[in-house]
Chain A
Amino acid sequence: MEKNILIPIGPQHPGFKEPMRLDISIDGEKVVDADIILSFNHRGIEKATEARSYIQNLYLIERVCGICSHAHTTSYCHAVEEILGLQVPDQARYIRTFIGELERIQSHLLWLGIAGHEIGWDTLLMYTWRDRERVNDMLELISGNRVHYAMNTIGGVRRDIAQEDISGLKEGLDLLEKSVKYYIHVITEEETFLMRTRGVGYLSTDKARKLCAVGPTTRASNVKIDVRADDSYAAYLDLDFSVVTAESGDVWGRSIVKTGELVQSIRICRQVLDVLPGGEIRTKAPPKVPTGEAVSRYEAPRGELIYYVKSNGSNMPERVKIRSPTLGNWLVMAEMLKGVYIADVPIVVDAIDPCLSCSARVTMTDYSKGKKVVTTLGALGKWKKGRRGIA
């Protein structure tokens, strides 16, 4: 039997908007094995949080990821608020939920566009990104920013939703609903889309559970998990929505789940606008946080996001640990790639909606020995000590 051929893809590659390297072994046209090489985006954020105050960290953590920035800060705030024992006002809980859902809408629309791009159907990219601008307009109306909203602060939110803006926001949601209906029609009936996504990148329910997949990836394999429903936070307990799942377990199923979630998110947003309680938007938080630790879970657009915060009584955290959703999905991605055609690699990679900026971790590779060593951040801090700033 012939030896398999290894094709390196990336880190700079037209198929990926972010730097990652994928070494795929192929046999003819089929992928036999895939090796993922990450950490092109590793900046050392977890270490940097230890040298900044809790409030400063909000703006650093927001920049873990530009697409789900609100998810990261909300999760961080929940953890710190839990240590402080702070009660967040109702209005703030609802605003957090609203921004979180708008973020999910823009993230899923972004994904749908990129998925269209990966299967060579740029029209879909142009359509979804046109509609995504509407969401950006709404976010800008509330927060003044298109991408990093800076809405969260410890103890609440920084800006209120003005009463006179509500009708404009509702109009925006109506327009979005109209286009989402069109996308659902496209995804379920358009032959171009069906032929490229059906049966591609299959993941069984069993494998999804075993490899601990998260978010829409696992919901598309008929595993019904969603932190919003299972371990409710913010205002989700008071709102009515359903968890969307699909049974097919392929790229098509993931598209169905994501467009289904668009509908649910619009539904949640409408409910929030109808029942906004009004009143205070933040509880004042002390600068110093007493000794303690907390874990918070959040359903980011890509899946379950976990924050662990440990405090030592000062105004800076002792440790912040981030488990981003994409990190939970790498294993299943390598699994899904096995057996697909080379031409399908980009869409399968994209189907987990990889967000590399939040999942880059430190692994040191000793090429001379061919060994990989996962180091702790502390050890790496020592290793680089004196070279630049922080450690």
Chain B
Amino acid sequence: MDLLKWARMKSPWICHFNTGGCNACDIEVVAVLTPRFDVERFGVLLKGSPRHADVLVVTGPVTQQSEARLKRVYEQMAEPKFVLAVGVCTCSGGVFHGCYNARGGVDTVIPVDVYIGGCPPRPSEIIDGVVHVLNKIAGGGLAEKSSVNEGQAVQ
């Protein structure tokens, strides 16, 4: 394993963007960062700027107004970048499927690496997703990055 990949695996920095979610996933993402679940033990740190982040954590069904922003945030990230879709409405639109202002899921806009279902997913499920991302960084365990609307769901 080369040095860069090793460093990335030991400390993946995440950036969080809400694309119109109901807050539930967001507070669970924050709960994951706080004492009881504490993903910092995997070296995961929440960063303010997408330019510093390796993993983009997206929550919400992607509203029309946040769509352009999501693309911009994604483009600002440095390669290699990974996307973690948290919550069922982020994966497929969920309860908001068919709402006039919501796209059906984040993978209609940007490619997604790991999908986490649930409304909202429990913190332990989010940690499971993070571990899947770590496996992917190491180059094993999961299928290739989905382009649009394809990918492996993590239940």
Contact = CB atoms under 8 A, between A and B. Distances in A.
Interface of A: 11-14, 17-19, 39-45, 47-48, 51, 59-60, 63-67, 69, 110, 113, 125-126, 129-130, 132-133, 136, 146-148, 355, 357, 360, 380-381, 384, 387-391
Nearest to A39: B65
**By CB atoms of chain A within 10 A, which of B15, B22, B36, B95 has the most?**
B22
Contacts of A66: 21-27, 120
5 closest pairs, A vs B, by CB?
A66-B24, A14-B48, A389-B98, A66-B23, A129-B34
B20 A41 contact: yes
B101 A43 contact: yes
Contacts of B120: 66, 146-148
Q: How large is the interface on B (under 10, 10 to 19, 20 to 34, 35 or more residues)?
A: 35 or more
A136 B24 CA distance: 12
Contact of B20 (A17, A40, A67, A125): A40
B99 A389 contact: yes
Interface of B: 15-28, 30-31, 34-36, 47-50, 60-61, 63-66, 69, 73, 89, 95-102, 104, 119-120, 122
A42 B24 contact: no
A133 B19 contact: no
Contacts of A133: 31, 34, 36
Given A14-B49, A19-B20, A110-B27, A391 B100 contact: yes
Contacts of B73: 12
A12 B65 CA distance: 12
Contacts of B64: 42
A18 B27 CA distance: 10
B100 A388 contact: yes
Contacts of B100: 44, 47, 380-381, 384, 387-391
A39 B21 CA distance: 12
Given A12-B69, A43-B61, A48 B96 contact: yes
Given A19-B69, A40-B63, A40-B66, A45 B31 contact: no
A94 to B, nearest CB: 25
Given A48-B99, A357-B22, A148 B34 contact: no
B73 to A, nearest CB: 5
A67 B24 CA distance: 6
A216 B19 CA distance: 28
A132 B27 CA distance: 11
A130 B99 contact: no
